[in-house]
């Protein structure tokens, strides 16, 4: 493909949005009419996974097409530079104009990772010594340093409505910045646009209008399970459950209401992006992919946030809508093949006729040879977790206490029943354990003796300390002048 007949590409990511939280996926409450229409006009991959379901490693996989083992981060290393072979760099080298808006979560913070330009929104991370473009814009609008004056934290579930005028909400800002870039494009060159919304990741500060949409809806109860009936809970599960012990059933419902409100706000803002593409006569030449870096447990199984390999945390939405001429992409299709975030880069490059670099170990989602297995990994210490799954079964391994959980996703998609101690599943457990052992590397090899998993000593779950109120931000005017990031760089 050459010249202006090459497709434009729009990659949209959100933060902490689970795969099942779509109307098209049958969710009983959430309202996602725009994304549902994308599903009707493209393909929804129902078994998409974040290989390392926490922000920085997941975004490295998205932007490099590589697994954690290859790109080097499985622990959330927020000071690891991005490799040069990125999705943006590949599009730029192929003659595309490349622009990103929103959250990159890279280091150094102003690294463009191959994009020609970036309009940055980084959740007020003043500790990096950088004021991002959204905070600069708020100051220009007469609200300097006030984005966190709502008092909600970036990793907590205390919530309230947005405190500034509606047009100043970060979701609106990201949308408007992307619209401006689409309108300012070079008409003689194809474009790769990356729109990275911050939400529904906390802080939970939806617009009041979207809270009102859910006011009279009955919010579904969290998923429960019988895990502790079959074996003692793994340390990582028992300790993470303590995070949510303070929430009543009513509070959990209200948290979900606020979370869904943020999702629907994004969904509606996407209508402006699509409307702009239509009015600029670009829509029929644009490939659109929507996904998330990971999900959120939101109280399912008594768990919260991410870094776990259960459905709510590790399964992500993956919607691909091609051009009318892209016959390789289904229309109104659901594809249950196993895919990962590392597959996004080779998929989009292949559809644009661009060679995939050797540094990527993902594979195109439209390939005729789909994955047979997914390996996932997070952490190296007491919170370490590993996962293997095939088309039907999922094995989750916790080295602390040497615990395994096994789920039959065909009969138990909500993962309510741990089958690891069930005699009839011994052969399946042994097979997946052998697969998992073959994937271990580095310090993980200490968990093996004589070809068997021995793990690490068990430890009791302790009450969770939260002295920083779940990464609570402060008032950002005047700008923060100190940062430990430069000291760390100097000492490295």
- Give the active site residues: 55, 105
Tokens coding 440: 């271990």
Which of 199, 192, 178, 189 shows the shortest CA–CA distance to 274? 178
Dihedral of the alpha carbons of 36, 40, 43, 44, in degrees to the nearest 10: 30
Output the DSSP codes for 257-302.
HHHHHHHHHHHHHHHHHHHHHHHTT-GGGEEEEEEES----TTGGG
Question: How many H-runs (helices) and E-runs (strands) does the chain carry?
Answer: 14, 14
Which of 199, 302, 293, 206 shows the shortest CA–CA distance to 254? 206
Residue 457: Cβ within 10 Å count: 11
Beta-bridge partners for 44? 319, 334
- 389: DSSP letter: E
CA distance 290 to 22: 12
User: 255, 16 in Cβ contact below 8 A?
Assistant: no
- 3: DSSP letter: G
Which of 345, 421, 432, 422 shows the shortest CA–CA distance to 388? 432
CA distance 435 to 286: 39
Sheet holding 97-102, edge to edge: 117-120, 97-102, 191-200, 8-15, 286-292, 318-321, 43-49, 333-340
Classify the phi-psi angles of 55: left when phi > 0, otherwise alpha if psi is within -120 to 50, otherwise beta: alpha
Which of 249, 161, 265, 245 shows the shortest CA–CA distance to 203? 161
Element (H, E) at 12: strand 8-15
Which of 76, 110, 85 shows the shortest CA–CA distance to 471? 76
């Amino acid at each position: 493909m050459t010249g202006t007949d090459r497709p434009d590409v729009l990659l949209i990511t959100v933060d902490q949005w689970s795969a099942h939280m779509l109307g098209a996926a049958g969710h009983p409450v959430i309202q996602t009419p725009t994304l549902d229409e994308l599903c009707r006009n493209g393909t929804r991959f129902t078994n998409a996974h974040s290989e390392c379901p926490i922000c920085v490693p997941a975004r490295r996989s998205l932007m490099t097409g590589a697994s954690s083992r290859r790109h080097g981060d499985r622990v959330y290393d927020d000071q690891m530079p991005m490799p040069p072979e990125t999705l943006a760099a590949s599009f730029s080298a192929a003659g595309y104009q490349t622009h990103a808006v929103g959250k990159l979560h890279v280091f150094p913070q102003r690294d463009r990772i191959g994009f020609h330009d970036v309009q940055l929104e980084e959740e007020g991370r003043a500790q990096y010594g950088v004021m991002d473009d959204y905070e600069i814009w708020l100051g220009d609008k007469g609200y300097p340093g006030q984005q966190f004056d709502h008092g909600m934290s970036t990793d907590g579930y205390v919530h309230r409505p947005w405190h500034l005028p509606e047009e100043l909400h970060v979701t609106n800002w990201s949308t408007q910045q992307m619209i401006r870039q689409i309108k300012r494009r070079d008409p003689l060159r194809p474009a790769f646009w990356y729109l990275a919304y911050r939400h529904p990741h906390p802080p939970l500060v939806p617009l009041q209008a979207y809270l009102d949409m859910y006011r009279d809806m009955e919010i579904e109860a969290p998923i429960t399970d019988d895990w502790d009936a079959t074996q003692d809970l793994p340390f990582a599960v028992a300790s993470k459950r303590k995070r949510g012990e303070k929430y009543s059933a009513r509070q959990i419902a209200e948290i979900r209401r606020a979370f869904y409100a943020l999702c629907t706000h994004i969904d509606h803002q996407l209508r402006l992006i699509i409307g702009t593409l239509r009015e600029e006569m670009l829509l029929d030449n644009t490939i659109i992919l929507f996904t998330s870096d990971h999900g959120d447990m939101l109280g399912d199984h008594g768990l919260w946030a991410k870094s776990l390999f259960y459905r709510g945390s590790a399964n992500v939405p993956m919607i691909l809508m091609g051009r009318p001429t892209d016959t390789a992409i289904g229309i109104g299709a659901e594809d249950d093949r196993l895919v990962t975030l590392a597959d996004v880069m080779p998929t989009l490059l292949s559809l644009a006729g661009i060679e995939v670099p050797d540094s990527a170990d993902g594979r195109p989602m439209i390939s005729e040879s789909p994955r047979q297995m997914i390996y996932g990994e997070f952490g190296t210490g007491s919170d370490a977790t590993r996962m293997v799954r095939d088309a039907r079964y999922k094995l989750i391994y916790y080295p602390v206490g040497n615990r395994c959980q096994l789920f039959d996703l065909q009969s138990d998609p909500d993962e309510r029943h741990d089958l690891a101690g069930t005699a009839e599943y011994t052969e399946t457990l042994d097979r997946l354990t052998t697969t998992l052992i073959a994937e271990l590397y580095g310090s993980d090899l200490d968990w093996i003796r004589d070809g068997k998993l021995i793990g690490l000593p068990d430890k009791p779950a302790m009450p969770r300390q939260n002295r920083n109120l779940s990464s609570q931000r402060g008032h950002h005017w005047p700008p923060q002048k100190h940062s430990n990031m430069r000291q760390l760089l100097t000492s490295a």
